[in-house]
Chain A
Amino acid sequence: MADEDEDFSFGGKTGKTAGENPEPAASSQPSAEAAPEISMTGVETAVPVSTDPDIPAHMVRDADAPRRSAFSRASNDLWAALSNWTLWWRLSLLDIRSRYRRTVIGPFWSVLSVAILVVALGFVYALLWKVPYETYLPYFAAGYVTWVFITSVMNEHAGSFIAGANIIRSMTLPVTLHIVRPLFKNILIFFHALTVYVVAALALRYQLEQPLALLLAPVGLVILSANLLWIGIVLAVLCSRFRDFIQVVISVLQIAFFITPIFWYRTELLQDLNGDNIEAERGLADLILANCNPFYHLVEVVRGPLIGHVPEPITYIVTLSAAVIGLGFALFILGRSRGRIAYWV
């Protein structure tokens, strides 16, 4: 009994005062009674899965739930959110629709704004850096589209628990739904914006160095999304408690755009004014701005394959291990704070 109480009153004071409780002695019976009742409806595994297809997993609150650890509570939450795909699919579409409601060209506004920026800046930068725009423009387009995806997701995740406060405070739903929803919405917008790169590459007859690398692009998108998922959980938890973090996220993302090789080439870090390779002296800049820059790897894992270039192994090592470790960390944080999010928003 003591164990059960301690787990359920997560983070709380566990001393049980029987004081005014009319029947404190009977309190251990309900869970014992209810447990077999639940297993009859098929809830036996660690994840509460209902045998009735009409009952989604998150609606079933079995008697064991309170006793499970914070970590498994968080992973159940995430699993419930991800597996309820009809819900997030509809909500994401709804978000896109409501954003462009009553506009004439709808979601193509996001394509158009990216296209204008890429074409305008592409020509200017190609001139400034004296690089051929036939190769620069596709490079910039692919990188910028990926970057817009990353920043929109992170910015939205920072405020997503706060934006979903109404739902969090009045419905029985997994909180990570508010992470999955903006992520998926922005994946859809990313596919729209990707047409800018495709059109630019086709129009300029851009030659892919390694055409087969393209096959790695979907893999990269999955890796990137997995990373955005855990970063989103951490950001949303932090930002719902400490509102100052929202501003921090916005500023960091603004700076990151300029210090990450997106509109400039990474190879430029290794060249002096005459264009000679001076790797020895300037390798440090490359180390800091590319290899040690997480944003570089997140961008490169998608952009590299898009422009026909297989990313270096270190990019995959960094992004994959970050996804695994990060997800564990995010679930840990979420499990520890899950009970308090409703109070914070």
Chain B
Amino acid sequence: MTPWPVVTLVMVLAVAPALPGIATRTRAFLTGRRGMPVLQLYRDLAKLLRKNVVYSETTTTVFRIGPIITLATAVVAATLLPLDGHAALLSFSGDLVAFAGLLGLGRFALVLAGLDTGSSFEGMGASREVTVSAFAEPVLFLCFTVLVLATGELSLAGMLGERLAAVWVLTLPSLALTAVALFMLALAETSRVPVDDPGTHLELTMIHEVIVLDHSGPELAMILFASALKLALFGALVVSLLMPRALLAPPLAALILLGGLVAMAVGVGIVEASMARLRMNRLPQFLVAAGALAVVGVILLLR
């Protein structure tokens, strides 16, 4: 067992908070503004960790455990991905179901924590979060289905590893469609434009930001970090799909992952600069479109 899975995991955990900064900076640059520093999220996290927590008197343990579950599930989900291009820390048949299940558990905990405050705003955010996730879940599984069909492997490490490198050229059309679907899914799962707007300041129009209104201090830091980590995880999925790194030396593979993640963040920024947030009732259509791309990917392989 090489140390590279651990090294790359630490690397992803370390660079994850830079990704939202890069996206926001790109958006600011393209819209003619200066924007906040790329490393702003690190500063925010450091500040939040030093701060005190304020709990609402309405809340119970559910509210306090929510951020912890959200971050813990995101971290464990990261151990299932072959971040160094070869192996994952944890890999077994059907671990892709565990990947989706872990993200689901994190979402469940966050939604319940939101409802625990008894605030209508957080109820609204929770309702929107589950609506988006109900449509996002099938898209994720359809994307995984493409990978299973392409590689014949049932674990994330297997399907993103050597087999993918071997069949990559043959299945490129399907994989490209899947990468686009996964990118759209990443926008939805991490609450970016056009699904949600992290830059907005009006509670009535937000999704993710509005569930976490009442969290403060280190717990808010955990939520912000988990959100950035989720962006990094989806980024890693997209990068692994488009650039199979199984045949490269692990250090080079790690570097490519790093470059890919930055490129993904820039891509998110470009999307944010070039389009507005969709109306709430259009969100299902956006995700159904992503699902349709994945279905086309599946059909191309079932031929």
A and B, one complex?
Answer: no
